[in-house]
Amino acid sequence: MSAAEPAFVVETGDDPWPVTLRLAAHLREVADSTAAVSAGFPEDAHTIALCSDRDARSLTLSIERGRVALAETPPADASLELTISYTNPLDVSRHRVVRRSAAQLPLERLVQSLLSPLERPWTELAGAFWAMHRQAPHMPEMLRVTAADGETSEFGNSAGATRLEITGPVAELADLFRGRSLLTTALVRQTLCARGTWESINAMNAACQREGLGR
């Protein structure tokens, strides 16, 4: 497999739910990051029910060699059933297996690994975020990000007319650039600080929303 080839493909339907888009974006990141996880894929297709822990909604996660698919319908005969948070589907503390069989323990471990957050430096996440969204309307010409430990990264034109500076803990910065939080929400909660125009801050919010939905 070449370095540019993902370990598996990720498919969704024509009108996916927001949770589907977030899961698909994460799974594509997994597929691009490591080939090791695909070694545990079953040869035959299996379906997993991903049920909301708050209501009656259910997703179908289908897994087979080289392919993962998400659909907004409950599976007729799931090999495994678990509940997740539909607002934060990668919060593993809220994952609960509600139906399993001893024969499917390898599948359960595979699903757990697929739905666990990837550990990536916040600087790498910020760089990928900037590369994806820097051309969006009203984004600042220069973005400066400083972690609580003092590590700083700058993106864009340092002589640009519009600047946005963000500071805060590493974990909060990582969540921001993964699209798991909005800048204004973090500012209200005082988990991040920012200095820049409201236009730039609102543009960052829109970019975070797109990032979180895999768009």
**Average of pLDDT values for 137-164?**
94
Spatial strand order in the sheet of 67-71 = 9-11, 67-71, 58-64, 46-52, 80-84, 96-99
Nearest residue to 181 (alpha-carbon basis) of 103, 88, 111, 107? 88
Q: Could you tell me the domains of the chain?
A: 9-114 (3.30.1050), 122-212 (3.30.1050.10)
Of 38-47, 162-171, 198-207, the poorest mean pLDDT is in 38-47
More reliable by pLDDT, 5 or 52: 52
pLDDT in tens, 88-108: 898 899 999 998 876 688 889
